[in-house]
Structure 1
Amino acid sequence: MIAHRPPTISAWRPAVPGIAEVFHAHFTDHAYPAHTHDTWDLMILDDGAVDFGLDRRRHAAADLSAVLLLPPGVRHDGRTVTAAGFRKRVLYLDTTVLPERLAGRAVDAPILADPLLRHRIHRLHTAVGHPGEALEAESRLFLVAERLRFHLQAFRRRAPGREAHRLAIGLRELLDARVRAGLPLREAAALLHSHPTHLIRCFTQAYGLPPHAYLTGKRIELARRLLLSGQRPADVATSVGFHDQAHLNRHFTRHVGTTPARYARGITSRMSDHGVIIPDIGQRSSSV
């Protein structure tokens, strides 16, 4: 007889409009009773297989490249299939992301064989797992929602048109004015009279990177200026818009190739060796 193993669970509510809960779990012998949610249940499997019933029909899911979408208000259950159980990551999305009227198609086909969608959901989970990545998480949520609407036959993607350059410049100006405070994508879209997903595509087409990556780069640039002026990394982190020093460290190392503390120590060492003040970053070689 196999001994009972308690589940491993992590759950939280991120500061991302539309996501009611994030839920990560490893179950070995759990069986969900029949129940309903007020939210959409968007699930990906990282290991194992699951058997579930949805509206009187049973389904088996074991494809790790697929996505499970269970609609709000519809009875469902779930249980493990093997002794090893399954690992899953779930996003509970409220009906501002997907309207409840689209539930019928999800009842008919709750398993979506779509590796691109699965990858986008994985990237969204990564973003919501890091405090301070609100703009990235919000952007990724809109791209996930667009793909889900494609499957639910309710949305047709609109390619950037002649207005793309104007929208991209408008969003860049808004981001430049709010480097420290940040800018919710919904607010930017309302100010520019555009849909958030369309705005992301226009910006990316014009500048070669998505809005959240552009904002992170601007914050790193500002952080370098402040470090050059002698400010402590811990103070710099929050003053330029990062959640904390660990958040700054992660992005700074990826952009600059070293941590803010080592970068600052290099500045101090050079100043003591040469008795000079390092010029502003804008005057330095682009190879720095």
Structure 2
Amino acid sequence: MPRARPITVSTWTPAGAPGVQVLRVEDDTRLWTGHATAYGLTVTYSGAFDFWYRQRVWTHGPGPRLKLKEPGEVHRDERIHAPVTAQSITLAPALVEEAARQLGLAAAPHLTHAVSHGHGRTEATALALHEALARRTPDSLERDSLLAQTLEALLSEYAETRPRLSRATHRPAVSRARDFLQASYTRNVDLESLAASVGLNKFHLLRVFRAELGLPPHEYVTHLRVSRAKALLTQGLSASTVAVEVGLYDQSQLNRHFGRIVGMTPGQYARAMRRQ
């Protein structure tokens, strides 16, 4: 008879992200009960479970639907259908309330759903944030942007009172932000510094930057880095040296971004250029 895989639980606070905590369980079969003191977004990667929340029982399993929670409420697991691998992000009330204030909401947000719909901006941004936090990304702009996008999407789609988002384009501010990133793409710039440099709050900057240039700031920086990496690889520099030169933290990070954008590894690209 095969032995059950051991249950593992890990938790961490991402560096440079006060108010954010991550909890990950793998192959968990325990029933948990908790009184929430923070907002939460949980994604389940495998397994399934029933939980009691807001006077009814819900089922949560693999897929894009997120289990949501807010401070002051009890969640109680009722049944494990299969061992659960899941990850939760908890967000301090002050963090969510400040996001609400910047988005034009006066009160502490109340979430209208216990489980997200499974199709929308909240899932897209939250799942990308989960992935970035799971690999412990040291990239401040990526982490900050994904967190801000997740907060805006969550409040826009699930808060009882929804923010009225500005449609102003602010093209001069976008141009200044683009110039700022082009001049500093090798540095670990954070979103607050970028937003302050152009005089917009971070939520509005993210909206207008993407609307104008087609990419959020952290993806724009990644494309700048990969473009420069291609030039350096053509000059004969090693992939590990190139990673540092373009502002990435190691060769594995270069490999991941390069493969996604160029469609081959840095080594394959360098060999292809040498054959020309």
Please tell me the TM-score bracket, short chain as reference: 0.7 to 0.9
Counterparts of 1:261 and 1:27, CA distance in 2: 37
Aligned-residue CA RMSD (Å): 2.8
Q: Distance in 2 between matches of 1:249 and 1:4?
A: 35
Match of 1:97 among 91, 95, 116: 95
2:270 to 241, 264, 280: 264
* Residue 123 (structure 2) pairs with residue 118 (structure 1): yes
Residue 176 (structure 1) aligns with? 182
Quote the offset at 1:19 in angstroms. Answer: 5.3
The residue aligned with 1:49 is 49
> Which has the higher Rg, Structure 1 or Structure 2?
1
Distance 1:258 1:82, change over 3 A: closer
- Matches of residues 118-197 of structure 1 in structure 2 within 5 Å? 118-130=123-135, 131-150=137-156, 151-163=158-170, 165-197=171-203
Change (3 A) 1:76 1:5: farther
How far did 1:96 drift?
Answer: 4.0
Gaps of 5+ in 2: 99-106
Taking the aligned partners of 1:203 and 1:179, their CA distance within structure 2 comes to: 16
Per mean C-alpha deviation after superposition, the further-off stretch among 84-93 and 139-148 is 84-93
1:281 counterpart residue number = none
| Alpha-carbon offset, residue 45 of structure 1 | 2.9
Partners in 2 of 1:146 and 1:194 — Cα distance? 15
Q: What is the CA distance between 1:154 and its match in structure 2?
A: 4.0
Other-structure match for 1:286: none
5+ residue gaps, structure 1? 271-288
1:1-41 deviations in Å (ceiling 9; x for gaps): xx97642434333235255222222455312244443x322
2:255 aligned with 1:249: yes
Q: Look up the SS of the partner of 1:92 in the other structure.
A: strand
SS in 1 for 2:9: strand
Paired position in structure 1 for 2:103: none
SS in 2 for 1:136: helix
Query: Cα 1:265–1:186, aligned 2, differ >3 Å: closer, same or farther?
Result: same
**What is the Cα deviation at residue 95 of structure 1?**
2.8
Q: Report whether the alignment pairs 1:71 with 2:65.
A: no
Q: In the alignment, which residue of structure 1 is the partner of 2:104?
A: none
Conserved? CA contact 2:209–2:215, under 8 Å: yes
The one-letter code sitting in structure 1 at the alignment partner of 2:17 is: P
Aligned residue number for residue 39 of structure 2: 40
1:49: how far off? Answer: 2.4
Q: Distance in 1 between matches of 2:94 and 2:34?
A: 25
1:108-155, CA deviations, whole angstroms, 9 ceiling, x for partnerless residues? 643333521223211211222342443223212112111222222344
Contact 2:177 2:197 in 1 (8 A): no
Shift of 1:268: 4.7
* Aligned residue in 2 for 1:13: 13
Q: Distance in 1 between matches of 2:220 and 2:64?
A: 30
Q: So what's the TM-score if we normalise by structure 2?
A: 0.81
Q: Distance in 1 between matches of 2:188 and 2:26?
A: 35
Residue number in structure 2 paired with 1:233 = 239
Q: Using the alignment, how far apart are the partners of 2:20 and 2:169 within structure 1?
A: 36
**TM-score normalized by the length of structure 1:** 0.78
Q: Equivalences for 1:178-217 in 2 at 5 Å? A: 178-217=184-223
Question: How far off is 1:171 after superposition?
Answer: 0.9
User: Does the Cα contact within 8 Å between 1:31 and 1:79 map onto a contact in 2?
Assistant: yes
Kindly provide the amino acid, as one letter, of the partner of residue 39 in structure 2.
W
Give a deviation string over 1:247-268, Cα, whole Å, max 9, x none.
0011112223322223333445
Q: Is the 8 A contact 1:142 1:196 kept in 2?
A: yes
Match status 1:87 vs 2:93: no
1:52, CA displacement in angstroms? Answer: 3.1
1:128–1:134 Cα contact (<8 Å) kept: no
Opposite residue 15 of structure 1, the aligned amino acid is A
Residues 97 and 145, structure 1, Cα contact 8 Å, conserved in 2: no
